[in-house]
Chain A
Amino acid sequence: MALLEVDNLRTYFYTREGAVQAVDGVSFAVEEGRTLGIVGESGCGKSVTALSIMGLIPRPPAKIVEGSVLFDGRDLTKLAERELEDIRGKEIAMIFQDPMTSLNPTFKIGTQITETLRRHFDITKGAARQRAIELLEEVGIPNAPGRLDDYPHQFSGGMRQRVMIAIALSCKPRLLIADEPTTALDVTIQAQILDLLQRLREERRMALIIITHDMGVIAEASDEVAVMYAGQIVEQAPVLELFDQPEHPYTEALMGALPQLEGTGIREGRLTAIPGRPPDLVDPPEGCRFAARCPYVGLDSCATQPQALREVRQGHLVRSSHPTTERGRSREPVTM
């Protein structure tokens, strides 16, 4: 059994306009020591999925209406808040997008690390401090003992993200959820942080979920990829498989929107954008949610028929009635 099994998770936000179906039937599993990348555009439900796993969705207005989150055999959606608090930070940790605002400006970073340690373990202040120094060294902060008494504003963005990672790792979690861990950072720092996460995952045999909208991050960091669109997973495959043979028209279009650095046809013409906007999740369309923006929408009745996630190849799931390989090789150029 996998460490984390999310099954048919539905998280709705109850607003004045109606129930926003932010996460609508998401299922995936993450094995120990593996990395799952969740990719999708803004508002597709990536972060809400992560927050639902942690039990951190704002209630009200949000509510998990269906589904289960099995972590090590326990259903997190059924636990009481107190039991969840004991799991958070200790078994499942999370790092957030913006390191500039994720640290409390009024406390020294040493305090913020030791507090987390002392919350979950019965250790002395001195031992916690020692452990904090080790953690800072582990995430690559130079002069760790000296920096323990610095305030967050004395750190750069990349260093703060390292501190966030140190805090997240302090209690040796078995699952780490990184919600856009590199979005707010410079490209060079991004690569460092991703390398750090990879290294730590291997050393500690953690499971890792990386949430991002950056295909580059996905290619770099994950073993398995789930592409989300409008609250659903539209395609799920091992990372190489996905990049070699994207099946869903949405994934295809995402790839088409990436700038090419090598190969034929580089620097020719404009990058292709996907026209239109994602559907309103208060009242999502009956059929395929991508239909309104899909160039292949006329092929069959997919716009009105609900689409199920099905396996086109071993380990490659797709939610489309006409994935690339079944359209034949007559793959039209994606002109939109």
Chain B
Amino acid sequence: MVVNPREAATLEPQTSAPPLLETAGAPIRQTSLWRDAYRRYLRNKGAVAAAVLFGIIVLYCFLIPGFWFIPGIWTTLFDIDPNQVNFLETYLPPSLEHPFGTDQFGRDLFTRVAKGGQVSIGIGFAATIAILVIGVTYGSISGFIGGKLDNAMMRFLDALYGLPYLPFAILALAVIGTVSFWTMVVALTIASWFTAARIVRGQVITLKENDYVRAAHAVGARWHRVLTRHILPNTLGVLVIAVFLELPAVVLGEAFLSFIGLGINPPDASWGSLASEGRQSYQTHPLELWIPCIFIATLVLCANFIADGLRDALDPRTRET
């Protein structure tokens, strides 16, 4: 019902904020989506612990042996080359200089595991980012255009889904031929971009029906503008979660390929290839197998916990009760 315009007029001044209120206490702290999410994330103890542990592992991997131009702490302190073979020091037990001992060729495992971690984590993130780029492109085109094209693109995806993940990655590696860091990234990306594409498509379809998308159309925004400015930024929360859901899968995939000898080859190390080497002397020196395995397991577990925490923080409605 409509109120008498005169009454409305008397109400008007109330909407222009009275100056009294501004001085009546501390100004309200502005809050944003990200600050809110940060606060909610901090409340989740498991996720915080996982993030800290994740950070420690990453720091260990990159600082101990050094990478690119940054000198490593351990390598300069004890003058160790992680790939240096020394047959006088094979299978040393843990000591201060070699906290994880040495392997069958006398290489220091502390720096070697860290070096392998660089490769594993590096492949993990690189492949995850590649997966997201492809997934976002494919998914947003499919979801945004919709109709017959959407149908065709999704059926193609269904067909790819039918192929088992690791054999598909092995096949991709075989087709590429040589094995290096980047070929591993490509193989793992090819084998696992489908889920990301699906997630993005679902999001885009939901967001497409939103009022503000209609409103954007109503002020004459062109389709690419609607997609890049109004739809994709709103999928960001889901994408951040997807990174930490995709990461453990990729790290595991890389470890598996390296373990069965299709991935990173010695003398270069990755956690998978280290575990593979450790397996050979498992009976006598179990530590060499256990250490990379524990690192893989911890990293995967941490990533899952982080993903969980992020989901609760960024999308509180989906939290399980």
Contacts and interface: CB of A to CB of B under 8 A. Distances in A.
A93 B218 contact: yes
A104 B216 contact: yes
B15 A106 contact: no
A263 interface: no
B216 A94 contact: no
Nearest to B11: A188
A220 B8 CA distance: 13
B238 to A, nearest CB: 13
Nearest to B13: A142
A140 B9 CA distance: 12
A86 B8 contact: no
Contacts of A164: 215
A167 interface: yes
A142 B217 contact: no
A96 B214 contact: yes
Interface stretch (B65-73, B226-234, B252-260): B226-234
A86 B220 contact: yes
Given A98-B211, A101-B212, A187 B229 contact: no
A120 interface: yes
Interface string B1-45: 111110111011001110000000000001011000000000000
Nearest to A97: B211
A190 B220 CA distance: 27
B12 to A, nearest CB: 7
A327 interface: no
A188 B216 contact: no
A8 interface: no
Interface bin, chain B: 35 or more
Given A89-B219, A154-B30, 13 more contacts: A56-B214, A88-B219, A93-B219, A115-B221, A142-B15, A167-B219, A187-B1, A191-B3, A191-B4, A191-B8, A192-B15, A195-B5, A216-B1
Contact of A188 (B3, B214, B220, B225): B3
B76 interface: no
B317 interface: no
Contact of B2 (A116, A119, A194): A194
A82 B220 CA distance: 9
7 contacts: A56-B218, A82-B222, A89-B218, A106-B233, A116-B219, A191-B5, A192-B15
B147 interface: yes
A158 interface: yes
A216 B2 contact: yes
Interface in A95-125: 96, 98, 101-107, 115-116, 119-120
B151 interface: no
Interface in A102-161: 102-107, 115-116, 119-120, 140, 142-143, 151, 154, 158-159
Interface of B: 1-5, 7-9, 11-12, 15-17, 30, 32-33, 147, 210-212, 214-222, 225, 229-230, 233-234, 236
Contacts of A82: 222
B220 A120 contact: yes
A66 interface: no
Interface residues of A, number: 49
A102 B2 contact: no
Contacts of A106: 33, 233-234, 236
Contacts of A103: 212, 215
3 tightest A-B contacts by CB? A89-B219, A89-B220, A191-B8
A289 interface: no
A85 B221 contact: yes
A120 B225 CA distance: 13
Given A102-B211, A191-B2, A194-B2, A119 B11 contact: no
A241 B217 CA distance: 37
A60 interface: yes
B217 A187 contact: no
A119 B221 contact: yes
B211 A101 contact: yes
A297 B127 CA distance: 71
A99 B215 CA distance: 10
Contacts of A158: 15
B17 A168 contact: no
Contacts of A217: 2
B220 A90 contact: yes
Contact of B16 (A107, A142, A154): A142
Pick the most buried of B11, B211, B222, B234: most chain A CB atoms within 10 A of its CB: B211
Contacts of B32: 151
A53 B7 CA distance: 35
Contacts of B1: 187, 190, 214, 216
Contacts of A143: 17
A200 interface: no
B7 A191 contact: yes
A87 interface: yes
Contacts of A102: 211-212, 214-215
Pick the most buried of B210, B212, B216, B222: most chain A CB atoms within 10 A of its CB: B212
A88 B217 contact: yes
A70 interface: no
